[in-house]
Amino acid sequence: MARSSIIRLVLAGVTSLLLLFHARVHLTSQPAPSARSTSAVAVQQSLPANTHVPDLAAATLEPAHGLPFDALHARAVTTWESAIQKGSAFICAWESGTAPQSEFLQYSDLDKWGWSSDPENVDFNVGPVRAAFSDLGLSINSPPNQKESCGHFDDKTTDGTLYKATGAEYQQTFNVEQGIIIVAWIHSPVAVIQEYKDDNYQWPWPAPQLWRWSDVSFLLWQQQCSDSGKPVAGLEWVFHETIMNDSTKALIFQALGGNANSITSWPGKTFHACTDAGKALIGSPNASGTAWMLAQHNTALAGKVIDRIVVYDPAAQPGRNRPEAQIKPCMAIHVTDGPSGLW
Ligand SMILES: *[C@@H]1O[C@H](CO)[C@@H](O)[C@H](O)[C@H]1NC(C)=O
Ligand SMILES: *[C@@H]1O[C@H](CO)[C@@H](O)[C@H](O)[C@H]1NC(C)=O
């Protein structure tokens, strides 16, 4: 064999070793797949190692064309700009209909991943929605409003891995007759585990793969629709009552021009998805649950999109100034047929 061929062979060998090594490093630096749904992992595969708080500034955004899915995974939306970017990424996902679809489509998936439902243990606080429901011609009676709390209360072993119950819970009320979800409380398994870590508490078990509010609530909604013979795609409003999350509140106040006390009672102020403020609100921690649901259950929800978000505060009174900490806004997310021309 000629010397040049030998050199070429050796070089090729070294190159493939380097490639292998590179691939290994790349693989092992991925976030632990167990803590996320498989579809989320698929979305994240092209992301750099530390994806918990992705560098949103680095996320490229091509409105209506590019799909900066990494922006969707920003759990901590810290700036106005990053919220707009996240909201825009959701709009891209709905419009293109190409977001990876959720693998959780069966009601039995809830039990499989340790979730159990309790219809009674929910606070359907009519107060925050009374004026809105009356104006929109919606019922405040039960039925058609059906409370349902879903908690991650059961230990499950799947494929040899123990998924320990986290005590996470989602509390809401469904009205499948009129197409409404009223959210009272969101506390996800991933958030619970993060809180344990922040407190230096040992929690060696992974979060269940079925963990998102969007997936859990979709399955509950789908089941109630099927029980009542109503269309799953009949969803029209998602209300978030008494929001206390600081990030969402900051985004709402910024949308209102920076003055928290300019919030009014219903009809509040409406922000369309085509505006920066509308996008920032879609990207807020509270609205992003609905945004995920529309992106990842695109087929069942017939390609619906968020076209506007109303922010209001039932406790607001003209001329009454309160410290921001005392203001607990409500959000009414309106869902309609897409594609939307939201740009
Ligand atoms: C608001 O929600 C985000 C997303 O869940 C979370 O990262 C943040 O810690 C929350 N803020 C507060 C004050 O709870
Ligand atoms: C708003 O979102 C935060 C963070 O996910 C959650 O803790 C809170 O329960 C949510 N509140 C409502 C009313 O949706």
**Boundaries of every domain in the chain:** 1-30, 108-336
Q: Of ligand 1's atoms, which has the minimum distance to the CA of residue 285?
A: 4
**Ligand 1, atom 1: nearest CA belongs to which residue?**
245
User: What pLDDT was estimated at residue 19?
Assistant: 34
Does ligand 1 lie within 6 Å of residue 75's CB atom?
A: yes
Query: Ligand 1 centroid vs 245 CA: distance in angstroms?
Result: 6
Q: Which ligand approaches the C-alpha of residue 329 most closely?
A: 2
Nearest C-alpha neighbor of 219 from the set 293, 299, 145, 291: 293
**Ligand 1, atom 5: nearest CA belongs to which residue?**
285
- Dist. CA 315–CA 263, nearest whole Å: 10
Q: How many CA atoms lie within 13 A of 104 on its CB side?
A: 31
- Copy the structure tokens of residue 132: 């809105």
Query: Ligand 2 centroid vs 185 CA: distance in angstroms?
Result: 6
Q: What is the pLDDT of residues 20-74, one digit of tens each?
A: 333 332 322 333 333 333 332 222 222 222 222 222 233 333 333 333 455 555 5
Does ligand 2 lie within 6 Å of residue 288's CB atom?
A: no
Residue of higher predicted confidence among 38 and 306: 306
Q: Which ligand approaches the C-alpha of residue 77 most closely?
A: 1
User: What pLDDT was estimated at residue 241?
Assistant: 95
Q: Of ligand 2's atoms, which has the minimum distance to the CA of residue 241?
A: 13
| Mean pLDDT, the chain, whole residue set | 81
Q: What is the Rg, in whole angstroms, of the alpha carbon atoms belonging to the chain?
A: 22
Residue 79 has pLDDT above 60, yes or no: yes
Query: Ligand 2 centroid vs 294 CA: distance in angstroms?
Result: 18
User: What pLDDT was estimated at residue 340?
Assistant: 57
- Dist. CA 241–CA 215, nearest whole Å: 20
Does ligand 2 lie within 6 Å of residue 252's CB atom?
A: no
3-state secondary structure the chain: CCHHHHHHHHHHHHHHHHHHHHHHHHHHCCCCHHHCCHHHHHHHCCCCCCCCCCCHHHCCCCCCCCCCHHHHCCCCCCCHHHHHHHHHHHHHHHHHCCCCCCCCCCCHHHHHCCEEEECCCCCCCCHHHHHHHHHHCCCCCCCCCEEEEEEECCCEEECCEEECCCCCEEEEEEECCCCEEEEEEEECHHHHHHHHHHCCCCCCCCCCCCCCHHHHHHHHHHHHHHHHCCCHHHCCEEEECCCCCHHHHHHHHHHCCCCHHHCCCCCCEEEECCCHHHHHHHCCCCHHHHHHHHHHCCCCCCCCEEEEEEEECCCCCCCCCCCHHHCCCEEEEEEECCCCCCC
Q: For 312, phi and psi rounded to 5 degrees? A: -155, 170
Residue of higher predicted confidence among 270 and 1: 270
- Copy the structure tokens of residue 226: 């099927």
Residue 224 has pLDDT above 60, yes or no: yes
Q: Which ligand approaches the C-alpha of residue 247 most closely?
A: 1
Q: Of ligand 2's atoms, which has the minimum distance to the CA of residue 330?
A: 13
Query: Ligand 2 centroid vs 243 CA: distance in angstroms?
Result: 6
Q: What is the pLDDT of residues 252-288, one digit of tens each?
A: 999 999 999 999 999 999 999 999 999 999 999 999 9
Query: Ligand 1 centroid vs 31 CA: distance in angstroms?
Result: 20
Query: Ligand 1 centroid vs 257 CA: distance in angstroms?
Result: 22
The whole model's pTM is what?
Answer: 0.80
Query: Ligand 2 centroid vs 26 CA: distance in angstroms?
Result: 34
Residue of higher predicted confidence among 325 and 46: 325
Does ligand 2 lie within 6 Å of residue 147's CB atom?
A: no
Give the type of residue at 141.
N
Residue 131 has pLDDT above 90, yes or no: yes
Rounded to 5°, the CA angle 103-26-34 comes to: 35
Cβ pair 283, 90 in contact under 8 A:
yes
